[in-house]
Amino acid sequence: MSAQIPEVQSVEELLEKWKQPEVITGSEILLRSLVLEGVDTVFGYPGGAVLYIYDALHNFKEFKHILTRHEQGAIHAADGYARASGKAGVCIATSGPGATNLVTGIATAFMDSVPLVVITGNVFSSLIGTDAFQEADITGITMPITKHSYLVRDVEDLPRVIHEAFHIANTGRKGPVLIDIPKDVSAAKTLFAPVNTVNLRGYNPRLVPNKLQLEKLVRAIAVAERPVIIAGGGVIYSGAHEAMYEFVKRTQIPITTTLLGLGAVPSADDLWMGMPGMHGTYTANNAIQECDLLINIGARFDDRVTGKLNGFAPKAKIVHIDIDPAEIGKNVKPDIPIVGDVKTVLEMLNPDVSRTAKADAWRTQIAQWKMDKPLRYNDSESELKPQWVIEMINETTKGEAIVTTDVGQHQMWAAQYYKFNHPRSWITSGGLGTMGFGFPAAIGAQMAYPERLVVSINGDGGMQMCSQELAICAINNIPVKIVVINNEVLGMVRQWQTLIYNKRYSYTDLAGSPDFVKLAEAYGVKGLRATNKEEASAAWKEALETPGPVLVEFLVPKNENVYPMVVQGATIDQMLMGDEE
C-alpha cells in the first residue's frame, strides 16, 4: 500500500495525508501514530516478534531510530530523553528476552514518575500461553511497575491504544505505559483512522486543588515562625519551576529540594538549603527537624528523605501538595492535604501570599547553620578528590550543562557539589537507584538537546553496567562527555561496610575493571585519564574542546566517603559529619 502514497516532503504534509483513511498494516499504524503523537526519536532493538515493525521502519524517515546495543540501554536512553525534554520517551523491543531486558528500566521510570511508552512485540496471538519460543508474559511481569499496560489483540484497537498510552503516560502523575503487540497484530491490515480523543472513564487526574485547603495553607504561612519548603520532582515534571521560585520569593520561606527536585530553584539563591535526607545538608536536615510548618510540594516523603518516620519534622504542621492522592498520607500524615497539579496549585497560591518580614530570626538561624556546617571535604594536593572533580565540572560548565549520573557515591557528590540553574538539567535514578542508568540516559538527553552540553557522571561500577552503549555514541556522533570517577571499588556499598559493617569489605573491590580509556577507544570514542588536579584540568578542558563523545577517567582514592550521612533507622538530624577523618 505504501507505494501508493505520493511523495511528500514534510511531516506536516504527512500528518495531513495520514488523516485520510487508508488500509495499512498494524506496524505502519504504529509508526504513523507515533509521528502523530509528536515522537521524533525512538530507541530500540529488533528481534523476531517485531520484524514486521522493523520492516516498516526500514524506509521510515519521519523520526530517528537509535539502535542501542542492549535493550537496557534503549529504555534508559528513552528515560533520559523524557526527563530532559518533558515529552514521553519511546522504546521498542522484541518479545521474551528483549522485553524482560526492559524491566529494570521500566521500574526505574515508574519509581521516578517518568513518562515512557514502551512497545514490545509478542509471539503470534495463537501461540500466547503455549510457552512458545521467546514468549514472556510481559504485561503480567510489568504490571506492578507500569502506570498501565495493554496487550493488543486486535489491530483495530491499535490507534486508540497508542493514543491512550501517550495520554496516560504524560498526564497526572506521569509514568511508563507498556503496549505489547503480538506479531500477527503488527502484520494484520486494517483501515487506519487516526484517533485524537480519549475516553477513559476511570482516569481523571485532579489538577485543580480544593480552595478551602489553599486558604488553610495561606493562613498557616501567615502565622508560621519557622516555615520550610521541601520541593520534589513534581515541581519539575509539572513545569512549575517559575511559579515555585515566585512562591519562594514572595514568602521568603527557606527551601530544600530532594534529589529529583534539584534545579527546581536556582542553587545560588540564599533561601536554598541544599538537599535533605540521608546525604542532605546539615542546614536542610536541621531546618526540617526544627520547623513549625513543613510545606511538601511534589515530593513523596521517600524514606531516604525522612529517615526514621517516627521523629521526622516533630514540631511541624505538615502540608502535602501532590497530584497523586495516594501519596498523601501514605508515609506522613498531613495536617493540610492538597491534591492537585503543582503548577496549578502554586499559581493559585501566589497572588495570596506576600513577601513577609516575619520569621527573620528563623532565616538568621538558617544562615548560621549554613555558615557553621557547609558541605566540605578534605582536599588534597597529592590525590584527586572526587568532590573536587565535581566542583571543577561545575565551574567549567557554569551550571548550564545537562548532568546525568549513575548511582552511588559519585551521584551524591554530584548532587551536593554541582550547582543547578535550570530544571530538567539533572537526570538521575532516584527511587530505584539503578546502576547502569546514567550513561544511556545521557545519550537520550543528548538526543533531545543535540546542541546542549551533556555530561554523564559515572562510577567505575555503573559504567560497566551499560558500557556497550559507547558504540552508539561513536556511530551516531552523540557528543556526550562521559566522566568515570574511578575509585576501583563499589564505593557506596563499601562506605556502608566502613561505617556499619566494621570495615568487613565483602566483595566491593572491583579489581579486574577494564582500562576505561582503552575501552572507549575500542568503540571509537576518545579516552583520557587523569590522576591529579593538573591532569584533571587539562583532560577535562580537552574533553570540552573536542567535538563528539569523549570519556574521561578520573582516578580517585577509595577511602573517600559521602558526608553528611544519616544511618538507616536514625532521625535526619543525627548526621555523621565525617569530621573524625
Partner 1 sequence: MVMKHTIAVLVNDQPGVLQRVSGLFGRRGFNIESITVGQSEEVGLSRMVIVTLGDQNTLEQIEKQLYKLIDVIKVVDLGSKPMVARELALIKVKSEPAERPEIMGVVETFRASVVDIGSTSMLVQVVGDTQKIDAMIELLKPYGIKELSRTGVTAMIRGNA
Which residues of this chain interact with partner 1, rule CB under 8 A?
139-140, 143-144, 147-148, 151, 168, 173, 200-203, 324-326, 328-330, 333
Smaller CB separation from partner 1, 315 or 333: 333
Question: For residue 539, how many C-alpha atoms fall within 13 Å in the half-sphere facing its CB?
Answer: 23
Q: Report, in Å, the least distance between residue 173 CB and partner 1.
A: 8
Concerning whether 289 is annotated as a catalytic residue, the answer is: no
Q: Report, in Å, the least distance between residue 333 CB and partner 1.
A: 8
Smaller CB separation from partner 1, 143 or 268: 143
Q: Closest Cα to residue 186, out of 151, 136, 237, 147?
A: 151
Could you give the 3-state DSSP secondary structure of residue 312? Answer: coil
> Which residues, at least 6 apart from 501, have a Cβ–Cβ distance to it below 8 Å?
none
Smaller CB separation from partner 1, 200 or 361: 200
Cα torsion angle, 544, 546, 552, 554, sign = negative
Q: Report, in Å, the least distance between residue 50 CB and partner 1.
A: 22
Per-residue cell: 483: 566522566
Q: Report, in Å, the least distance between residue 539 CB and partner 1.
A: 46
- Residue 325: asked if its preceding bond is cis (omega within 30°), the reply is no
Concerning whether 577 is annotated as a catalytic residue, the answer is: no
Smaller CB separation from partner 1, 143 or 367: 143
Q: Report, in Å, the least distance between residue 75 CB and partner 1.
A: 21
List 183, 343, 526, 533, catalytic entry: 183
Sheet with 526-530, strands from edge to edge, namely 426-427, 402-405, 454-459, 481-486, 550-555, 526-530
Give the CA angle between residues 363, 342, 201 to the nearest 5°. 160
Concerning whether 492 is annotated as a catalytic residue, the answer is: yes
Concerning whether 411 is annotated as a catalytic residue, the answer is: no
Work out the number of other CB atoms within 10 angstroms of the CB of residue 175: 22
Contact status, residue 337 vs residue 250, Cβ threshold 8 Å: no
Question: How far, CA to CA in Å, does 261 sit from each of 238, 256, 493, 574?
Answer: 12, 9, 24, 23
- Pairing type for strands 64-67 and 89-93 reads unpaired
Smaller CB separation from partner 1, 87 or 147: 147
List 63, 124, 134, 535, catalytic entry: 134
Residue 576, beta-bridge partner list: 565
List 1, 13, 64, 133, catalytic entry: 133
Give the CA angle between residues 477, 483, 486 to the nearest 5°. 140
Cα torsion angle, 478, 145, 170, 83, sign = negative
Question: For residue 207, how many C-alpha atoms fall within 13 Å in the half-sphere facing its CB?
Answer: 9
Could you give the 3-state DSSP secondary structure of residue 446? Answer: helix
Smaller CB separation from partner 1, 264 or 328: 328
List 275, 447, 492, 565, catalytic entry: 492
Query: Where are the extended beta strands (E) located within 420-511?
Result: 426-427, 454-459, 481-486
Smaller CB separation from partner 1, 152 or 259: 152
List 22, 28, 37, 71, catalytic entry: 71
Concerning whether 12 is annotated as a catalytic residue, the answer is: no
- Dist CA 50 CA 440 (whole Å): 22
Q: Report, in Å, the least distance between residue 249 CB and partner 1.
A: 33
Smaller CB separation from partner 1, 180 or 460: 180
Smaller CB separation from partner 1, 326 or 475: 326
H-type alpha helices, 449-532: 460-463, 470-476, 491-499, 516-522
Q: Report, in Å, the least distance between residue 198 CB and partner 1.
A: 11
- Dist CA 367 CA 488 (whole Å): 38
Cα–chain center distance at 401: 15
Q: Report, in Å, the least distance between residue 170 CB and partner 1.
A: 14
Q: Report, in Å, the least distance between residue 166 CB and partner 1.
A: 13
User: Residues with catalytic annotation?
Assistant: 71, 133-134, 183, 492
